[in-house]
Structure 1
């Protein structure tokens, strides 16, 4: 659609979501295009508009959002360990137990220097306190000689990791068998001054962010943000960021697959958000209330937000969480100066389920409800964010800040391609 719009075509009528009239259980978009200048009125979902963009919005332009330098170096994929032999885990009989880990530390306290808590998306989303249950040996970017200064630990890695690494097609992983498959020195450097970091699971049905201590190893199933402020959490947890992330991310089954390059690096934050006391205050209240609620109910983020989005859930605790979320959204919208946009939500289906066939057994499957903004508000906010992204990108170019950004992006993409190859073979924990 972008090519058509930029090559003299005009979308003059579009219906964004229409249930297919045939037997297939799908929803389609119906688009009418005119080649050349179109003088008559344009209709988007039956409403007259001045423009219909390639995204099927009434504003915001046809261009993909640009990567913003202001967001550079703040979001990271966790470490791809590539070898469960690095870990201490009582739930996996094929690796070293945590009791053995404690024995190694008692025998030689130096071993504790290279053993770290290890956490992934499943623990973050399922544990009410985001508690890890694994530890991992981490030699960072040490040379083999440096790693051998920890003989107890290098012995474990040599026995449980090295054989598989030597069989790897990628020579560099075989050569540096005592290191993680993908090291993350930039992540370590970025979060070193921080007491805590914000994280989200890369794959999850519900968009949720939480703080974790920075002194642990984060798995590749987490996205880590080098920021510890409540103001930052307020924006990231808001519907404003969620609709951006859902629109530009890929999916994994029914879940959102959060990609920092698409969801975060392009996202235009409101001006002066770092010093906005309202964002800080309401986000702190929301976060502390949610944390206490999860502990009280012994439910993690996934279960809590399943209740949050359930149209049959009327418990006062969940009603209060929805109310606080609306206050958070209001504060973020006001920070953008968009006081004309309502925060009223309703329960809407993400998609229509196919009807159960009479010859198949009935399955008790919950419908994909979400408590969210109506489509008109959703599209209005996305259109404004797209426009703001273009303005910010142009301002960076004019100020000279975008110099060499293309080269940096090219180098980053090369690294991402190599990570993507490994990610496709990595198992995704159920969240």
Structure 2
């Protein structure tokens, strides 16, 4: 974390998955998950319902209260951040800063106020459950209705950054994250990495923004002319996946890697499988269009 004035942290085991910004002078112990990022944009994405879905599904459970455990390899390293535009990043960053500042301000005003207490009340507000006298006091001290409103705005902003405008359920969010993770793995295999902290991770080519476009692979010019294009070869057929998330990811990957638009028959020819699996292709393609991962041309061919 050298060079950072602050970093993102969350408790390894906690009833509520809360991320916050800590001053770099605070050294994390083994019970704290420290993320070496100081950008509130990352804080906002991690604080969203979208990340919470994966954190709960990928983590473990521990203790008398069966509290969720944050498994950094499954919950963080496998989590695909959205390819947000600069405007979307700015919106998420601003909301995350507001949430972090609001909590710290209210705790500074009321020494007895805890994050766990505030989020216990927030969860009750979500489902309109009655509050005890103690919870009403926490609600007033923490201005928890304001906190809830900020989180609602943050969730909407992060969903917008992913391009998911259809109010997806938690199960659908998980399926889409799994598919997106597979897409990102394919990108990285092709040399495209979406750095979260490029100045540290890739200093040779510092990039100012997240959500990089696919790199263009050009043929280097030689003396006296250009190198001839390599001969094209048909890609090998791959096994048709068993599960729906894997099928979505596989079709998206083939479209993204194709050098030219593909007809549905050409797309089907990229896979090998038994049974009526080809009948699912139109539905999968429509799903990818809804996710913003594919588009159909006027001639009926498909592009990633």
TM-score, normalised to structure 1, is 0.39
Q: CA deviation at 1:389?
A: 0.6
1:274-285 matches, cutoff 5 A = 276-285=89-98
Aligned residue number for residue 324 of structure 1: 150
Note closer, same or farther for the CA distance 1:197–1:281 as it changes in structure 2 (3 Å cut): same
Partner of 2:101: 288
In 2 relative to 1, CA 329–400 (structure 1 residues): closer, same or farther, beyond 3 Å?
closer
More helix by proportion, 1 or 2?
Answer: 2
Equivalent pair of 1:294/1:304 in contact (CA under 8 Å): no
SS in 1 for 2:81: coil
Name stretches of at least 5 consecutive residues in structure 2 with no aligned partner: 194-304
8 Å Cα contact 2:9/2:21 also seen in 1: yes
Q: 1:202 to 1:307 in 2, by over 3 A?
A: same
Relative distance call for 1:292 and 1:217 in structure 2 (3 A) is closer
1:243 equivalent to 2:57? Answer no
Q: Which moved more, 1:243-252 or 1:275-284?
A: 275-284
Over alpha carbons, which structure has the higher Rg? 1
Aligned to 2:180: 388
Provide the rounded CA distance (Å) in 1 between the counterparts of 2:84 and 2:182: 18
**Cα pair 1:249 1:259 within 8 Å, conserved:** yes
Return the alpha-carbon distance in structure 2 between the equivalents of residues 277 and 237 of structure 1: 15
Cα displacement string for residues 130-174 of structure 1 (whole angstroms, at most 9, x for unaligned residues): xxxxxxxxxxxxxxxxxxxxxxxxxxxxxxxxxxxxxxxxxxxxx
Shift of 1:285: 1.6
RMSD value, Cα? 2.1
Point out 4+ residue stretches in structure 1 off by more than 6 angstroms.
none
Q: Distance in 2 between matches of 1:312 and 1:292?
A: 26
CA distance in 1, matches of 2:158, 2:85: 9
2:159 is matched with which residue? 333
Distance 2:170 2:28 in 1: 32
CA positional deviation for 1:400:
7.3
Per-residue deviation, 1:217: 2.5
Deviation at 1:194, TM superposition (A): 0.4
Distance apart, 1:272 and its partner CA: 3.8
The 8 Å contact of residues 250 and 257 in structure 1, kept in 2 or not, is answered as yes
1:222 to 29, 32, 48: 32
Question: Shift of residue 213 of structure 1?
Answer: 1.4
User: Aligned residue for 2:123?
Assistant: 309
